[in-house]
């Protein structure tokens, strides 16, 4: 038996009161599920501090220890070291026992929302890392850096579409993980994400002509790489599917429940929930852009706000309004001294946050992942692994990232830096956006990025990553 699992299993058995306190133990896809004689013995904080334990829960009379992907190995070790009887794995979604209603507070609501977002995004980190590595290889080996492979070579094209696929089809992957979070059909979650990315819908959006769903006008929105639209849609779908499963007779449920669920979700997802991020983003983005039109101190603060809030806009898909405005400004004037400054500072702040987290984290696996996110960002130009794997997962680093983006953006604005090129990557090569003006412009642009990275790293390290030692 793997020594690591054996030691972990022994700590778990001891923490739940030893074998004599265990009536039975089984597991599902991610959790050890104990039926205990005395539920007061396990101390949640102590068990959460065991290396490899992701969390605990008490539901349906069981004491549950969340392990994750290695639950099978840990379960086998627990039954051996505790001399316990093995049981067959059970379905993941059995926690339908009603618990005592918790008092609703702003904090509890906020934590619930963040937990659902984190629970939906964290399982996708392996996909994001793999896609990021391929995109990094394209950036490093392609003509922009080492020029080892041509843009027309099969290898370049292969790495490009493999890297892009991990992000373009994000809604489909989130459709699955969000469905697991909201206890609804994962297959329908995938189907809903696929509908949002269907080539037919993409063509309708690209054509720009009015389109209706059951006569309801549909806002023309591109959902590629988006997060919020599918999360909201799966959340609402979970209630609709449960309604039909409850009220349709078993003989017709298999056919009618999924069909009616999707039929109702079409106008809700495509006309209301999907475009919601775009609607909010339009007003938020235009509000920030208005700072730039005021000039002076207001414009400086506006750049800082872009640096601080850019990644939040990316998560919700709101940043597209900013990008459209940036393209228009550069096309008309040949340069931009507002949006480019904040967005570049924000990208380097994500790298800084990843570096600060890597230096602060104690768990070797999490530390190495954080360093990987830093490299994927700084060299490969992909911010999503750090954003979802650190900022969303641990929450505290989000503050460090925002501070770094704000300070870096403020410096660029004070020094009257201008961006002359829209560079479609977020790695160190994006600093070429400042080429085209004076040498001082390029130097101050580089300093701005360095400030964003260093401040975000220091702020993240000081604020901390985990609320308690793991």
The whole-angstrom distance between residue 251's C-alpha and the CA centroid of its chain comes to: 39
Q: Report the candidate in 407, 365, 409, 406 with the shortest Cα–Cα distance to residue 389.
A: 365
CB atoms within 10 A of CB 429: 15
Residue 219 carries which DSSP code?
Answer: P
Q: Are 408 and 360 in contact (CB under 8 A)?
A: no
How many whole angstroms separate alpha carbon 319 and alpha carbon 307?
Answer: 12
Counts of helices then strands in the chain (DSSP H, E): 20, 6
CA distance 469 to 66: 17
Burial 238-250 (b: 16+ CB within 10 A, else e): bebbbebbeeeee
Has 28 been annotated as catalytic? yes
Q: CA-CA distances (angstroms) from residue 96 to 60, 66, 182, 281?
A: 8, 17, 12, 36
Identify the DSSP state of 40.
T
Query: Is the distance from CB of 418 to CB of 336 less than 8 angstroms?
Result: yes
Quote the CA–CA distance of 455 and 125 in Å, as a whole number: 25
CB-based contact 407:455 (threshold 8 Å):
yes
User: CA 122 to CA 128: how far, in whole Å?
Assistant: 10
Q: Are 121 and 392 in contact (CB under 8 A)?
A: yes
> Active-site residue among 21, 28, 145, 213?
28
Alpha helical stretches, state H, 208-318: 228-247, 250-267, 274-294, 296-316
For residue 55, give both structure tokens. 């969390």
As given in the structure block, the two tokens for residue 110 are: 């906020």
> Length of the chain, please?
470
User: Are 359 and 461 contacting, i.e. CB atoms less than 8 angstroms apart?
Assistant: yes
Q: Point out the residues that are catalytic.
A: 28
């Amino acid at each position: 038996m793997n020594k690591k699992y054996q030691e972990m299993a022994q700590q778990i058995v001891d923490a739940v009161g030893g074998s004599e306190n265990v009536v039975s133990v089984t597991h599902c896809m991610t959790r050890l599920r104990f039926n205990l004689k005395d539920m007061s013995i396990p101390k949640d904080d102590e068990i959460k501090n065991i290396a490899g334990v992701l969390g605990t829960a008490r539901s349906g009379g069981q004491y549950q220890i969340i392990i994750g992907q290695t639950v099978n190995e840990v379960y086998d070790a627990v039954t051996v070291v505790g001399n316990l009887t093995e049981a067959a794995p059970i379905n993941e979604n059995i926690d339908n026992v009603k618990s005592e209603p918790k008092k609703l507070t702003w904090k509890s609501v906020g934590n619930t929302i963040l937990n659902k977002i984190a629970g939906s995004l964290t399982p996708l980190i392996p996909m994001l890392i793999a896609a990021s590595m391929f995109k990094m290889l394209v950036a490093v080996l392609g003509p922009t850096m080492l020029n080892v492979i041509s843009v027309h070579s099969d290898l370049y094209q292969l790495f490009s579409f493999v890297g892009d696929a991990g992000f373009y089809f994000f809604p489909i992957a989130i459709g699955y993980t969000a469905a697991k979070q909201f206890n609804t059909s994962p297959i329908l979650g995938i189907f809903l994400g696929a509908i949002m990315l269907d080539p037919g819908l993409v063509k309708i959006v690209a054509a720009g002509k009015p389109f209706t769903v059951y006569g309801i006008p549909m806002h023309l929105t591109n959902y590629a790489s988006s997060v919020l639209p599918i999360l909201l849609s799966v959340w609402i779908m979970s209630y609709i599917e449960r309604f039909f499963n409850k009220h349709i007779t078993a003989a017709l449920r298999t056919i009618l429940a999924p069909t009616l669920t999707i039929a109702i979700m079409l106008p809700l997802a495509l006309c209301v929930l999907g475009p919601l991020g775009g609607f909010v983003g339009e007003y938020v983005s235009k509000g920030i852009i208005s700072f730039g039109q005021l000039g002076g101190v207001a414009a400086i603060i506006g750049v800082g706000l872009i640096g601080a809030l850019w990644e939040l806009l990316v998560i919700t898909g709101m940043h597209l309004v900013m990008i459209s405005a940036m393209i228009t400004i550069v096309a008309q004037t040949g340069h931009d001294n507002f949006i480019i400054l904040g967005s570049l500072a924000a990208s380097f702040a994500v790298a800084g946050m990843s570096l600060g987290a890597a230096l602060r984290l104690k768990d070797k696996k999490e530390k190495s992942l954080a360093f990987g996110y830093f490299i994927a960002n700084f060299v490969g130009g992909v911010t999503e692994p750090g954003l979802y794997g650190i900022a969303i997962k641990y929450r505290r680093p989000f503050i460090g990232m925002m501070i770094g983006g704000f300070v870096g953006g403020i410096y660029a604005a004070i020094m009257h830096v201008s961006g002359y090129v829209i560079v479609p990557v977020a790695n160190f090569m994006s600093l070429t956006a400042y080429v085209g003006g004076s040498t001082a412009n390029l130097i101050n642009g580089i300093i701005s990025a360095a400030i964003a990275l260093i401040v975000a790293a220091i702020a993240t390290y000081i604020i901390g990553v985990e609320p308690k030692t793991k």
